[in-house]
Amino acid sequence: MAERIFTRNFHLPDSHTLRVYRETGGYTAIAKALRMEPAAITEEVKKSNLRGLGGAGFPTGTKWSFIPKGSTAPKYLVVNADEGEPGTFKDRYLLERDPHAVIEGMLIAARAIDSRQGFVYIRGEYVQPWRIFSGAVREAYSAGLLGKNIQGSGADFDIIVHRGAGAYICGEETGLISSLEGKKGWPKVKPPFPAIKGAFGQPTIVNNVETLAAVPHIINRGGEWFAGLGSKTQGGTRLYSVSGHVVTPGVVEASVSITLRSLIYDECGGISNGRRLKAVVPGGASAAILTADEIDVTMDVDGLKNAGTMAGSAGVIV
């Protein structure tokens, strides 16, 4: 069984509160990151082999390094919480049960890219996650973890929480940015990529909720530790949203090196009602279907790509 990282606090009463997050070691990673050089933070994330957990699977540290060096322009950090891919619901759990992990991940990412302004774009239908996350942001401000001169460090960082309006296309980063700017949520042709010209025409990094929630653990325990939890080309565990005809559907945390067969039969109890497996969607509705004889494949980005499908948002529909 994989080490619990993302779900370690899910079982605790009031896990969404600042009190519980701090009692379980929360906000120690940002204290460490504030003593590090920004480039050192990015290098640690590169070592971790953390790849985007929202869909594209791009290496996170590499993405951060695309921000122009020495630029005096404002730099923005945008969190993609517009979880609209059918069969995917893992980010909702993080926003509801461990929102401060996302906030701390944002603070560390902001330190790495020299950003003073963050935006969290939450799916409009996610009313409860929006309420809980917004409450966590208010707690962080009250505790001096957001705003001016964070914890006496001289660093400033603010978060604006923005609700979407139900457009699936806003899950794509440039469509999301267009919507955030008050325009029609329509994707843009790339290049230029958001890291060069993103929100309001400024350098912008867009990261997924789960991706940022991994960052405090990487800073606290090291990139090599995180890399060792996964496969050769992708580090860590991740959250799988498993639905359909399995005995125990729901959010499952497992290594990215787990096989699809093991995820279904060992983690989720197999096929419900003794039925025979026909096919599986392994990465959200956009992913190609795998048949029952194709499930001995690892669930990392490259493993599923080599099988002719994709890891995507890890929405596993059985």
pLDDT digits (tens, 9 = 90+) for 166-208: 899 999 999 999 999 999 999 999 899 999 999 999 999 999 9
Task: Please say if the pLDDT value at position 151 is more than 90.
Answer: no
Structural domains for the chain: 18-51+58-228 (3.40.50.11540), 237-317 (3.10.20.600)
In three-state secondary structure terms, 205 is strand
Where residue 51 falls among pLDDT bands split at 50, 70, 90?
A: very high
Give the pLDDT confidence score for residue 69 in this predicted structure.
Answer: 87
My answer on whether omega of the bond before 192 falls inside 30° of 0, hence cis, is yes
Helix (H) or strand (E) holding 38: helix 38-47
Distance CA 122, CA 248 (A): 27
Q: What is the pLDDT of residues 237-282, one digit of tens each?
A: 999 999 999 999 999 999 999 999 999 999 999 999 989 999 999 9
Give the pLDDT confidence score for residue 1 in this predicted structure.
Answer: 62
C-alpha 273: how far from chain center: 34
Mean pLDDT, residues 67-71: 89
pTM of the full structure: 0.96
